[in-house]
Structure 1
Amino acid sequence: MGQATGFRQVFANAEFRGLWAGALLSRGGDQLARVALAVIAYQRTGSPALTAVVYALTLVPALLGGPLLGWLADRHPRRELIITCDVIRTVLMGLVAIPGLPLPALCALVFASQLLESPTRAARIALLPDILPADAYPTGVAANHLTSQLLTLIGFAGGGLIVAAAGPGVSLVINAATFAACALITALTVRHRPAAGRDREQSWLSATGGGFRLITISPSLRGLLGLALLAGFHVIPEAVAVPYAASLGKGAVEAGLLMAAIPVGNVLGVYVLTRFVPLERRLGAMGPMAVAAAVPLVASLLRPDFVVLLVLWTVSGAFSGYQVSANAEFVRLVPQDRRGQAVGLASSALVAVQGLGVLLGGLLVEWAGPADGLAVAGIAGVAAGIPAALAWHRARTTQAAKPVG
């Protein structure tokens, strides 16, 4: 198989540009809203704990929304589902921006809005293989990931500047406007396609059970999901950057650089893989890269200085770039009429393991200190990565990555 289509050719597709722009606006609005809501919660309560609860309400729904609502992306036309969810979210976030809204009501509206992110995201991911030709699809996935990572890197700083300049209330109005713009862009650029699901009357329980069975009976999907879930180990450095920097006698600036090292490395790794490595080689390299991504964490045992540590974490992020290929291949292999539910379940599992990884990292650092704790996490990542890599190799060898039925 030859080299994948370049980024320029992917962005020449008007439907892809519309889907990409909608996702980017939605993510940017969410980042802005998180900063604004944290400011509002702290201004009203003065409680760090309650502020953390309000912030968590922007994250927890991602864990629940996949299993609960991902199936909607199969049962209903995906373009119309995206538009409907974005319109509803426009209204919900507009209500959140009402001055003096009681905090419980604000929390309920935020939770409902974020819950709708799951079916919207599932629909966008499920639409992408229909919009792009097979040779361009992996590049489209990489383009979405790269811009999402770059937005994450600048989002909180940019969000803080906007909230400081315009105030949290106006920032929430801006957030509502981004959802309205998303709905409009999708309506104007993405063409209608009928619902993908074959059984429109299928219940939520039946659809969810079918999604679980689809993943568990397919060696290829199990292998890909296993590789993806290793992100729970690879995210740990970001969670322990502050105490690690402090253990080296460094401050907030150095901690911020450490936190940025993983996503910066990831952006570089994804770009190099997508631009210079043919698809078949990318698929074959995923297992070794998954194991290699944890190896730089083990090097903490050697007590590297700050600069070396920064390089090690950047290398770890670069190796974790295999995740984009794993995600793209997972979606490609899932039957078109069941993508929404499968993507929803996989996304929720990914959120869960990353949350557990953050918790694990905190516990290990508390127990063994930053360097030794991170090294233990790295050893665990290598140990978990080897069987996952072997499982994917066996599945790819025996099934030749054929779509599952």
Structure 2
Amino acid sequence: MNQAQIVESEGLQPLLRNRNYMLLMGSQLVSNMGEWLYIIALLTLVGLKWQAAPWEITAMTLCMAIPVLIGGPVAGWIGDKYDRKKIMVISDVVRAFILIGVLFAGNLIQIYILLIVKGLMDVLFSPAKSGKIKEIVDPKHIDQAVTISSSIEQMSKIIGPSLGGLLMALFGIQLCFIIDAGAFIVSALFLLGVPGRKLLKQKGLIGESPNEARSGQDTQKKSFFKEIGEGLQLIYGMPLLLGGVVTICAVMLVLQMADSQIVTLFRLIPDVSDDLLGYCISASGLGTLIAAMFVRKLSWNTLAKMGVGSVAAGLVFAVCAVVVVIEMPHLLQSVVLFGSFFLAGAGGGFVLVPFQMLLMKRTPEHMTSRVFGTVNSLTSGAVIIGPTLGGALVTGMGPVPTYIVAGLGTAAVGAALLLCKSRIERKDEDFAARSEGLMVPETSTI
């Protein structure tokens, strides 16, 4: 066994023996699979059974995204102030009841209301989970912990849609919602085995946060809005985090312009197979999964990985647009598109996973939920704006130019990051020096 394998084994085995972390990942696996089942069942119910108009389906997407956009910072504050385990359990239980409520919904207005409430529970769960990882995982194993969590998300993206289609074919749409509700209950049961913040403090596994250490009078002096804004202040104050956040938002914006119009692009393929779109989406998830598993082993630093990933994903998306309009055998065209989406997903993994590792490592435990909640809010804004711009570009120019513009735009973001990388890192080192060594600069590896 070589030195790298020894380090890998020593780093991974303690994490796999961490009962609290494995319970948390079990909860994530069940809920992620249930989430994809719910999305497939809901789109089938509304889009096929109820024959909803395109703008009505778009409204569904907005109902899911707007709570994250508006509520991210507040949800992060709640996650830092209160017991994260209780927040996640309550969120799971409420989401289970919401999915049961979908069975009794008779029109789209009721669906929209249920989606907004569920979105509020989703936005509470995500930053609380990120903060919980920080609570229960040794700092030496944070990279591995983020890798496993990201891999679970991508496996769910690959397996979930196919499993959802199979279950609907076997049992029908209504039973799928019941199964999904049960998945959230199982997720909550996993979480019950994870110790809460109070027990972790009693065992000396975590210390008191600055807020807890202050007296009651001092705590009251800090305004509610100032506490919520501390997540954004922390990001703005660290050049490395700020550069990563700006990059991730820009990449999400331009990629959403393309992703939202993927159907219009595939319509240009003569006699296109009904399964090709699903295969390409799965290929994208597979590429991201493989990238998540191996990106940590590269010796590049975070900004280099994000920059290269952005350039690669953008160029591949632009190539997809060209492949669609070039005359070639259908089998060859399908293989090229499958491979292109795989590479695009891998490029996306090089952007997302190192950024999540960086965010987790550089954020103090008592502010983790606020920082992740703020980032979720910013990226949700890109998710909302991107499809709107994409629709406008497709209407004005057509799907092929839109994909080329979005792809080259993504590549340009990555190239700009690579050009500014050294300057951002120098500023980050200066920030670390001013912080008297409280923050460790990253100049070589994650």
What SS is found at the alignment partner of 1:361? Answer: helix
Distance verdict in 2 for CA 1:164–1:190, change over 3 Å:
farther
After superposition, give the CA deviation of every residue in 1:259-284 in whole Å (9 maximum; x if it has no partner). 3333222222222223x424x54554
**Which residue number in structure 2 is paired with residue 356 of structure 1?**
385
Residues 59-138 of structure 1 correspond to what in structure 2 (within 5 A)?
A: 59-97=65-103, 99=104, 104-138=109-143
Give per-residue Cα distances to partners, 1:65-122, cap 9 Å, x unaligned. Answer: 313322101111212222232233334434444x466764454233212211112110
Q: What is residue 317 of structure 1 aligned with on the other side?
A: 345
* Counterparts of 1:21 and 1:183, CA distance in 2: 10
Q: CA deviation at 1:355?
A: 3.4
Q: Which digits, 9 at most, give the CA deviation of each residue in 1:306-349, with x for residues without a partner? A: 24343333222212222201112012212222111111110121
**Mapped partners of 1:344, 1:370: distance in 2:** 33
**Shift of the alpha carbon at 1:136?**
1.8
Q: CA deviation at 1:146?
A: 1.4
Once the two structures are overlaid, the 10-residue window that deviates more, 348-357 or 214-223, is: 348-357
CA apart distance, 1:197: 6.2
Aligned twin of 1:294: 314
Aligned residue in 1 for 2:424? 395
Q: Distance in 1 between matches of 2:295 and 2:419?
A: 21
Structure number with bigger Rg? 2
Q: Percent same amino acid at aligned positions?
A: 21
Distance 1:148 1:184 in 2: 20
Q: Quickly say closer, same or farther: Cα 1:142–1:358, change in 2 above 3 A.
A: farther
AA partner of residue 377 (structure 1): A
Range moving further from structure 2, 82-91 or 344-353:
82-91
Please report how far the alpha carbon of residue 216 of structure 1 lies from its aligned counterpart in structure 2 after TM superposition.
1.8
Partner of 2:336: 308
Residue identity matched to 2:311: V
1:49-77 CA deviation, whole Å, 9 max, x = no partner? 54554465344433333133221011112
Select 1:47's aligned residue among 28, 46, 52: 52
CA distance in 2: counterparts of 1:80 and 1:90, whole angstroms: 15
Pick from 146, 152, 155 the counterpart of residue 150 of structure 1.
155
- Taking structure 1 as the reference length, what is the TM-score of the superposition? 0.86
Alignment partner of 1:214 is 2:242: no
Find the aligned partners of 1:211 and 1:33 in 2 and give their Cα distance: 31
The range that moved more, 25-34 or 353-362, is 353-362
In the aligned structure 1, how far is the partner of 2:410 from the partner of 2:106? 45
Residue number among 280, 302, 316 corresponding to 1:258 in the alignment = 280
Answer whether contact 1:240 1:361 (CA < 8 A) is retained.
Answer: yes
Specify whether residues 170 and 145 from structure 1 end up closer, same or farther in structure 2 by C-alpha distance, changes over 3 A only.
same
Question: 2:348 corresponds to which letter in structure 1?
Answer: S
Q: What does the per-residue CA deviation read over 1:27-65, in whole Å, with 9 as the maximum and x for residues that have no partner?
A: 222222233334444688543354554465344433333
Counterpart in the other structure of 2:412:
383
88-97 vs 117-126, which moves further: 88-97
Separation in 2, partners of 1:154, 1:56: 25
Query: Does 131-140 or 354-363 show the bigger shift?
Result: 354-363
Q: Determine which of 17, 29, 48 is the counterpart of 1:24.
A: 29
Partner Cα separation in structure 1 for residue 114 and residue 56 of structure 2? 16
Q: 1:248, 1:45 → 2: CA distance?
A: 28
Distance 1:259 1:154 in 2: 11
Asked whether the equivalents of residues 87 and 180 of structure 1 are also in contact (C-alpha less than 8 Å), the reply is yes
**Aligned letter for 2:284?**
I
Equivalent position SS for 2:22: helix
Of 323-332 and 231-240, the range deviating more from structure 2: 231-240
Aligned to 1:37: 42
Tell me if structure 2 keeps the 8 A contact 1:295–1:382.
yes
Q: Is the 8 A contact 1:38 1:52 kept in 2?
A: no
Alpha-carbon spacing, 1:127–1:247, altered in 2? closer, same or farther (3 Å)? same
- Count, aligned residues: 402
**Equivalent-residue separation in structure 2 for 1:109 and 1:238 (angstroms):** 25
Deviation at 1:255, TM superposition (A): 2.8
* 1:71 alignment partner, SS class: helix
User: Structure 2: which 5+ residue stretches go unaligned?
Assistant: 202-207, 213-218, 433-437, 441-446
Letter of the structure 2 residue corresponding to residue 141 of structure 1: V
Structure 2 residue matching 1:252: 3-state secondary structure: coil
Does the Cα contact within 8 Å between 1:223 and 1:391 map onto a contact in 2? no
Partner of 1:248: 269
User: Aligned residue for 1:198?
Assistant: 211
Q: Secondary structure at the match of 2:139?
A: coil
Partner of 2:360 in structure 1? 331
Aligned 8 A contact 2:76 2:124 in 1: yes
Normalising to structure 2: TM-score of the pair?
0.79
RMSD: 3.2
Given that 2:62 and 2:384 are in contact with CA atoms closer than 8 Å, whether structure 1 keeps it comes out as: no
Contact residue 236 and residue 361 of structure 1 kept, 8 A? yes
Correspondence list, 1:173-188, <5 A: 173-188=178-193
The Cα of 1:236 is off from its aligned counterpart by: 4.6
Distance 2:307 2:118 in 1: 37
- Aligned counterpart for 1:371 among listed residues 400, 421, 437: 400
* Shift in CA distance, 281/220, structure 1 to aligned 2, threshold 3 Å: closer
